[in-house]
Amino acid sequence: MSEEQEELNADLWLPSDFPMEDLLETCQLLAEADVCVPGYVPPPVGLYHPHGFFYEQDFEGIQTWLLPDRNVASRLAQLAQGAAVRGDQQLRIAAGLLAFSQCLHIEAEPSIAFHELAHKQGNEEAWAELGWFHAANNAVSQDLLDLALGRQDVLSVRYEAHVVNPRLDLARPLRRWNRNYIIALKMLELEQLSLLPVDRVLRLFEWMRDDFIFGGPAALMASVYFAPNSPPKRRVFKDKNSLDREAAIAGVRNAAWDLTHLSDFVRRVNEEGNEGKTRYLFASFDKHLRKIAKLLFDLGADQSRDEALPEALSQWWSISDAQRIVTAMHDHLYHIKSPQWKAKLAPRRDFIRELIRGGEDRLRGAKPAA
C-alpha cells in the first residue's frame, strides 16, 4: 500500500468487507476504456481513482451523478437480464462502470436515454427496459465486480425487473429534442448548398441566432461536422445519402438525440451545480459523442483560454477558419446574453411543428450525394 493510500485510510472509514482491490482493478479497466466525460476538472489523482471520490464526498460533501447515454443504459439493463459478457467488451465495461458507481455512491440518472427509447419504440418497451435498468442498479456490487474482472460470464444472482409506474409517459415530446432535431435538419440542408465549409458553419450560426435558438452543443457539433480536414463525421448522420429518404430522416433523429444528451449534460452542469456540490459524468461508448462533450468542457466552457478552442478546431480547419468560427460563436453568444437581447417568441402555436415538417420535406426532396 502506498503512502498516499495509508494517509487516506487513516482518515476515512470503510467497511471491513469493502472490495478495494477489486475496485482498483476495475478502475484501471475503466481508465483504459475511458467512456466517461466529466463536467468538471478531475482531481490530480485521476478521474477513475476512488480516492478522489472518497475525498470529495466525505470531506467536501460533493454528490456525483452518472448520465448514461442510450447504449450504456441498454447494456446495464441487459446485465440484469442475464446477458453474458464473454465476447462483448461493452457489456464488461458497463458492469465495471456500474460497480464503480455503486462502490463510490455515484447515482445514475438515465431519463434522457429512456425518453429516446420510448420515442422510437413506445412507452411499453421503455417501461420494460427501465425496470431491468433499476434491477441492475440494485445488483450486488461484488457480483458486478466479478463480472467486470472476468471471473464469471453472467451475474450469479437472478434479478427481477422492477415495476415502473405505467403513468410515466416517457414518449411525450421533449422540447429540447424538438429544437435539436430542427437544428440537425438545418445542418443537412446547408450541406446540400454550394458553400464553402466555413460558410456553412457561419450560415448555421446566423440562422440559429436570428430565426431560431442558439445552442452551444449544436454549434460545436456543426463546427466539427462541416470541417474539411477529416473530421470524425461519419457517424453523425447515419444513412444521410441513402436512397431511402426515411432512413436518412431516422439518422437525423438519432443525431438529434445525441445533441439532446449533450445539451442535457450542459444544462445540468451549468444550472444544477448547487454551488459546486453536485457533479456530473456523461457516459457513452460513442467516441465522437465523447469528443464533442470534451470540447464543450475542456475547451468551450473555459472562457479564460480563448486560444484553446481555435487550437482544437485547427486539427480539422485552417487556423484562419478556426478563428473565424470561434469569433462568430463568441459574438453570437455575447449578443444573445446582452441586456438588449430579447428572447424570440414563436409567432404561431404550430411554429415548431412547421419547422420540423419543412425540414423533413426538404430532406426528402434532396438528391442523395453520389
Residues 124 and 204 in one domain: no
Domain closes at, from 148, 167, 183: 148
pLDDT number for residue 3:
46
Residues 248 and 319 in one domain: yes
Residues 198 and 312 in one domain: yes
Domain closes at, from 133, 148, 163: 148
Q: Is 111 part of a structural domain of the chain?
A: yes
Residues 255 and 143 in one domain: no
**Per-residue pLDDT averaged across 53-60, rounded?**
87
Residues 143 and 263 in one domain: no
Q: What is the pLDDT of residues 174-223, one digit of tens each?
A: 999 999 999 999 999 998 899 999 999 999 999 998 888 887 788 888 89
DSSP state of 350: T
Domain closes at, from 148, 164, 184: 148
Alpha carbon distance 165, 158 (integer Å): 23
Residues 73 and 197 in one domain: no
**Per-residue pLDDT averaged across 133-147, rounded?**
96
Residues 186 and 64 in one domain: no
Residues 126 and 267 in one domain: no
What percentage of the chain reaches a pLDDT higher than 90? Answer: 62
Residues 89 and 179 in one domain: no
Closest CA to 125 of 85, 95, 166: 166
Q: Is 321 part of a structural domain of the chain?
A: yes
Tell whether the model's pLDDT for residue 325 goes beyond 60. yes
Instruction: Dump the DSSP string for 186-229.
Output: HHHHHHTSS--HHHHHHHHHHHHHHHS---HHHHHHHHHHT-SS
Residues 97 and 138 in one domain: yes
| pTM listed for this prediction | 0.87
**Per-residue pLDDT averaged across 352-365, rounded?**
93
Q: Is 295 part of a structural domain of the chain?
A: no
- Which domain covers residue 123, as residue numbers? 24-148
The structural domain count of the chain equals: 2
Q: Is 350 part of a structural domain of the chain?
A: yes
Tell whether the model's pLDDT for residue 10 goes beyond 60. no
Work out the number of other CB atoms within 10 angstroms of the CB of residue 351: 13
Q: What is the pLDDT of residues 61-93, one digit of tens each?
A: 899 999 999 999 999 999 999 999 998 999 999
